[in-house]
Amino acid sequence: MPEKQSETLNELKKFIELEQSLQSITQDSGPFRKHLPVVQQAYELWRRIADDKSAWVDEARKSLEALAAIGLETAKKSLTEPQQSEDNLRRALEEAVDEFYKRWRELFEEIQATMTKARKQLPTSIAQGISRGIRARAIEPTCQAVEEALKRVREFRETIEEKQARETPAGRRKRLDEFCANHCCTYENVYTSAKVSRSSLHSWLNGKAPEAGKKIERVLAGEIALKVSGKRSSPSRPEGS
């Protein structure tokens, strides 16, 4: 039992650490998702052949202003340069887009490392489905995959914590009280149905008497028939509880 509890605590610790890492990545990736349309527009403008050079230059300047507004230093620098020919503007757009994706690649390395840990913690079928969305140049699918991983990791962490709470003295007493309320029975009905003593029930409530506890758990699970005799008033608690 202690070894099993230690394994559960270790697993819970890993899920908590993984959840924290994924939360951090989700926050860090937010600006990339938000600013992606601005960068995509700049990229398309950089690739476009300028039929009307004057109109293209105006668009390029506005695009660089938008890129500068999201914190891209190359775009800010280009706007201070006196010579803003089509070639210079096209080069500035390319450099700003490259700067954006360079920053993304740095975060993507962290995403890959964290998702590798997630694949080890999550069931294979879930991990494989999430991993398909992780791609270096695909920002939106990658962010969605991270969010899905975070959701799944949180669910597993909560499940482990709920199981742990069930096995605490307070958790066991709550389950026993709920069982008695739902079945209109007393504590005595439970321990006599399990064919254990009242003191064994008390020990089980405090995390002891593992063999007697198995029988009590079977009564609560409906695997051992509950025998109720007489009229129930309220659950009778074990002495000393």
Say what the pLDDT of residue 4 is.
61
Q: How far apart are CA 90 and CA 57, in angstroms?
A: 9
> Number of C-alpha atoms within 13 angstroms, CB side, residue 65?
6
% helix, strand, coil for the chain, step of 5:
75, 0, 25
The residue with tokens 């270096």 is 136
pLDDT, tens digit (0-9, with 9 covering 90-100), for 14-65: 999 999 999 999 999 999 999 999 999 999 999 988 788 889 999 999 999 9
SS3 of residue 187 by DSSP: helix
Say what the pLDDT of residue 230 is.
55
Q: How far apart are CA 69 and CA 118, in angstroms?
A: 35
SS3 of residue 221 by DSSP: coil
Say what the pLDDT of residue 3 is.
57
Say what the pLDDT of residue 71 is.
96
Q: Is the pTM of this model over 0.75?
A: no
> Number of C-alpha atoms within 13 angstroms, CB side, residue 64?
26
Say what the pLDDT of residue 2 is.
53
> pLDDT tens, position by position, for the chain (241 residues)?
555 667 778 889 999 999 999 999 999 999 999 999 999 999 999 998 878 888 999 999 999 999 999 999 999 999 998 877 889 999 999 999 999 999 999 999 999 999 999 988 999 889 889 988 899 989 999 999 999 999 999 999 999 998 888 888 888 999 999 999 999 999 999 999 999 999 999 999 998 888 988 999 999 999 999 988 754 434 444 444 4
Cβ-based neighbours of 82, under 8 Å, separated by 6 or more: none
CB–CB of 112/134 below 8 Å? Answer: yes
CB–CB of 216/194 below 8 Å? Answer: yes
H-type alpha helices, 70-166: 73-79, 86-121, 124-131, 139-166
Q: Break the chain into its structural domains and give their ranges.
A: 2-164, 169-220
At 217, list the tokens: 């758990």
CB–CB of 73/99 below 8 Å? Answer: yes
| Helices 124-131 and 139-166, axial angle in degrees (round to 10) | 160
